[in-house]
Structure 1
Amino acid sequence: MELVQDTSRPPLVYVKGVPLVKYFAEGLGSLESFQAQPDDLLISTYPKAGTTWISHILDMIYQGGDLEKCNRAPIFIRVPFLEFCAPGVPSGMETLQDTPAPRLIKTHLPLALLPQTLLDQKVKVVYVARNAKDVAVSYYHFYRMAKVHPEPGTWDSFLEKFMAGEVSHGSWYQHVREWWELSRTHPVLYLFYEDMKENPKREILKVLEFLGRSLPEETVDHIVQHTSFKEMKKNPMSNYGTIPINLMDPNISPFMRKGITGDWKTTFTVTQNEHFNADYAEKMAGCDLTFRS
């Protein structure tokens, strides 16, 4: 992948009230020509909720557990990022044009910006949700290293923006809630990052059942092994190590940083935690979603 000029950390652009990376917002028009196929599978998450992990799991399932086939290309080529657009690199839509069926497609878009064709075609969705505090910490470090975002500022100021939904892709609260509601009427498998960490084999079996597929137990165990954080972190086909440093600088923070649950406890102050808890209680009131730390 060729080097590109510094992306200069442009400010976010609002589309239908949702803040987005400037380049993503500018590329949304191309999604109007997107046509879903009935055998597409959509991977939906709020940023930093285990997207690359579930993407690698699903590609391994699709390849029958064949790691060599999964290492055919970087994860962002194997699983195109629908709304991705950045200077000097192929967009998600361009990558999709060369993706054979059945396609795995990744998005962070809230429902307001999702191409209607995906809903009309009743495309199956695997959604992964993660504890908001861990997401906020991970997103802060991602903002620091991924230069398509504005400067994150201090951790304290970033946390305030996160709580207000003033980060790319908007409100975490709205995202997890609206996809949860959609799961009542649309074929959505709603998974939790913490469950995946606790028992990845159990969750992979849920995915297989949802897809109507089966694999030998030894193949499932093989997938569990090769989709572990340790294995993915050292694999350039899954760790985003091939992305130009002008876009994502791993010297600032690695793309795959820790991959654990409850790490927010090492970052939040007591005051921040109390403030966040009050905000969370207000914005998640009346919702039956339950998250673990």
Structure 2
Amino acid sequence: MTERTCFTYKGIPLPTMGYSEESLSYMENEFQLLDDDVVTVSYPKSGTNWMLEILGLIWHDGDPSWVQSVLMSDRSPWIETASGLNVALNYPPPRFLTTHLPFQLFPKSFLHSKCKIIYVMRNPKDVLVSHYHFAKFFQPLEEPGTMEEFVEKFLNGNVIYGSWFDHVKGWMKMKNRPNIFFISYEELHQDLRGSVKRICYFLGKELDSHQLDEVVKYASFQIMKDNKMSNFSQIPEEYMNHKKGKFMRKGICGDWKNHLTVAQSEHFDHVYQEKMQGVGVTFPWD
């Protein structure tokens, strides 16, 4: 990792652009989570923005006007960034918050709060490929290099937010808490309507059949791709080189098969099995 783009906070690499030690420390030790907060947590490139769109639609009974008129970063601020923390502190409850933080850096106030957490996971091979493409045009990140090089960086945790394996395992330790809901990108893909119903149940929110249909409709990849409030097209050039790529690329499962060689895939599987030993959970991609 180049000094130009990253610094390390408690062993976790983070971009220098938009992040600071002060705001991270405040967020970790002093930020108060409220009982009616809903926090979306994920490792980067795991379907975070899809979940934020779904939640915004659920909360407004399937009416898309809010998600199509308010920027995602204002609807669901990232609490680890300096600007996101500021939005969160001025957000009238109930708040929708977002983070990519590993559990050990999450606000300590969580342990005494009833706030609801939705943890979104995705096949790490697809995460890797999505991350690789994202790094090509997201300015705060260093160039990913070749796929061969990036596979090694990813497996070793030398990427922003550190190791995928540690992230998932850290949050999985919380799986018996009633206020955490785990869902995968793959489950959303296989059965979006059923997944929305499960999320509604977790949130204690009742939607009728028509409202459910509207959530599913407006949370579709195509409609989200055209939603300027959600597709990152409004992000300034200093952060994102829009000529080099689009934030919403394919929105599919299994795209890794188009990018990883057989040898890279086998190497990945070997490391995966080693690192995920004893987790005691079967994931949709296993």
TM interval, short-chain normalised: over 0.9
Q: Give yes or no for the alignment of 1:244 onto 2:240.
A: no
Residues 235-264 of structure 1: CA deviation (Å, up to 9, x unaligned): 101101111011012221210111100000
In 1: Cα distance, 2:46 partner to 2:178 partner: 21
Matched, 1:28 2:20: no
Q: Deviations over 1:193-242 (max 9, x none)?
A: 10100110000000000011101111111100100111101110110111
Q: What is the rounded CA distance, in whole Å, between the counterparts of 2:146 and 2:112 in structure 1?
A: 42
> 1:66-120 CA deviation, whole Å, 9 max, x = no partner?
21122231111111111124xxxxx111111332210000000001111101232
Counterpart residue type for residue 234 of structure 1? D
Q: What secondary structure, in the 3-state scheme, does the structure 2 residue paired with 1:69 have? A: coil
Cα separation, 1, equivalents of 2:273 and 2:79:
32
1:25 deviation in Å? 4.5
So what's the TM-score if we normalise by structure 1? 0.92
Give the Cα–Cα distance (whole angstroms) in 1 for the partners of residues 56 and 4 of structure 2: 33
Q: Please give the alpha-carbon distance, in whole angstroms, between the structure 1 residues aligned to 2:16 and 2:178.
A: 30
CA RMSD in angstroms, aligned pairs only: 1.6
What are the equivalent positions in structure 2 for 1:97-108 lying under 5 Å apart?
97-108=89-100
Return closer, same or farther for 1:25/1:269 CA change in 2, 3 Å cut-off. Answer: farther
> 2: CA distance between counterparts of 1:237 and 1:57?
14
Q: 1:124 aligns with which of 116, 122, 127?
A: 116
Mean Cα deviation higher: 58-67 or 22-31: 22-31
Q: Does the 8 Å CA contact 1:65/1:222 hold for their aligned counterparts? A: yes
1:202 aligns to what SS in structure 2? helix
Give, as a single letter, the amino acid of the residue that structure 2 aligns with 1:124: K
The runs of 4+ residues in structure 1 deviating greater than 4 Å are: none
Instruction: Report the AA paired with residue 67 of structure 1.
Output: P
Per-residue CA shift, 1:40-70, capped at 9, x if unaligned?
A: 0110000000000001110111112221122
Amino-acid identity (%): 38
Structure 2: 5+ residue stretches without partners: none
TM-score, normalising length from structure 2? 0.94
1:18 is aligned, of 7, 12, 21, to: 12
Identify the residue that residue 265 of structure 1 maps to in structure 2.
257
Q: Which moved more, 1:25-34 or 1:117-126?
A: 25-34
Deviations 1:13-43, CA, capped at 9 Å, x for gaps: 2222211112425341342442111100110
Q: Deviations over 1:266-291 (max 9, x none)?
A: 00001101111110010011112323
Partner SS for 2:66: helix
- Conserved 8 A contact 1:14-1:25: no
User: Which residue matches 2:54?
Assistant: 57
Unpaired runs of 5+ residues, structure 1, are: 1-7, 86-90
> How many residues in Structure 1 have an aligned counterpart in Structure 2?
281
Distance between the aligned counterparts of 2:103 and 2:172, measured in 1? 11
1:70 alignment partner, SS class: coil
1:104-183 to structure 2, matched below 5 A, reads 104-183=96-175
Matched, 1:208 2:200: yes
